[in-house]
């Protein structure tokens, strides 16, 4: 004879207290969805990302990707073509990839912006003073100097002048003039010199100017030239 027993849930609480009971299907589905839902991913605040680091202060010796580098004496701006512009307190200089002062498109390679030489400009080619269509040096307060490949040179005019009006005639780096004095320094020391290919032909004193040692300019050079027909 079989007997049927009926269980009352109130007598077996462990079956219903949550420890052994199976979760409802809808709760389990919600739990899996939480793992795959985009809303569950942590939000990223793009605006909170750190700003790019200024490498110019981290690369004082030119190491790194910076195009501008600070050194103890100047600020270097490095151009993509290998050229470098250096800005000092009193001047700006532009050099080629080898570090030589160099002008491009008739732009001066050295410009003085302050100090006793403020306003002066220079032109170079591969480190040598050079300019083909004008003076390679423009001096402060007036005066200029013409250079080709590092040598004082000009055809048809004085190769160098100063703000006082003194003149020097030079050809390929040698004092030279065929129709007058190659050196006219009457404004400062009162003398003129006639030279051919740097060789002294005549030296004329136009004023009794004394050197600090007490000797006249003509005596100091060891040669006082004859009176020339074109002398004033």
Domain residue spans of the chain: 176-232
Confidence tier at 207 by pLDDT (50, 70, 90): low
Q: Is 105 a residue whose pLDDT tops 70?
A: yes
Q: Where are the beta strands (DSSP E) in the chain?
A: 68-70, 75-78, 84-87, 91-95, 110-112, 121-122, 124-125, 128-129, 137-138, 143-145, 147-148, 151-152, 160-162, 167-168, 170-171, 174-175, 183-184, 191-196, 199-205
Which pLDDT belongs to residue 40? 45
Token code pair at residue 100: 């030589």
* Contact (Cβ atoms closer than 8 angstroms) between residue 196 and residue 189: no
pLDDT digits (tens, 9 = 90+) for 133-173: 999 999 998 999 999 999 999 999 999 999 999 999 999 99
Give the mean model confidence (pLDDT) for residues 58-70. 55
Which residue has 């009971």 as its token pair? 21
Q: Which residue has the tokens 């990302």?
A: 49
pLDDT at 71: 93
Taking the model in full, what pTM does it have? 0.63
Q: Considering only CA atoms, which of 131, 140, 77, 79 is closest in space to residue 108?
A: 131
């Amino acid at each position: 004879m079989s007997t049927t027993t009926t269980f009352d849930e109130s007598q077996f609480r462990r079956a219903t207290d949550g420890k052994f009971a199976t979760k409802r299907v809808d709760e389990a589905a919600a739990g899996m969805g939480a793992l795959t839902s985009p809303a569950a991913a942590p939000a990223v605040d793009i605006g909170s990302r750190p700003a790019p680091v200024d490498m110019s202060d981290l690369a004082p010796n030119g190491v790194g990707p910076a195009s501008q580098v600070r050194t103890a004496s100047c600020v270097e701006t490095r151009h993509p073509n290998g050229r470098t512009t250096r800005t000092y307190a009193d001047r700006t200089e532009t050099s080629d990839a080898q570090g030589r002062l160099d002008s491009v498109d008739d732009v001066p390679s050295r410009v003085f912006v302050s100090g006793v030489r403020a306003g002066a400009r220079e032109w170079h080619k591969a480190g040598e003073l050079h300019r083909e269509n004008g003076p390679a040096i423009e001096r402060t307060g007036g005066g200029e100097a013409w250079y080709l490949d590092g040598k004082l040179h000009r055809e048809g005019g004085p190769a160098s002048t100063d703000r006082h009006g003194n003149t020097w005639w030079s050809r390929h780096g040698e004092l030279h003039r065929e129709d007058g004095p190659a050196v006219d320094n009457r404004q400062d020391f009162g003398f003129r010199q006639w030279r051919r290919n740097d060789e002294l032909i005549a030296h004329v004193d136009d004023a009794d100017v004394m050197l600090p040692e007490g000797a006249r300019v003509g005596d100091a050079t060891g040669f006082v030239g004859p009176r020339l027909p074109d002398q004033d």
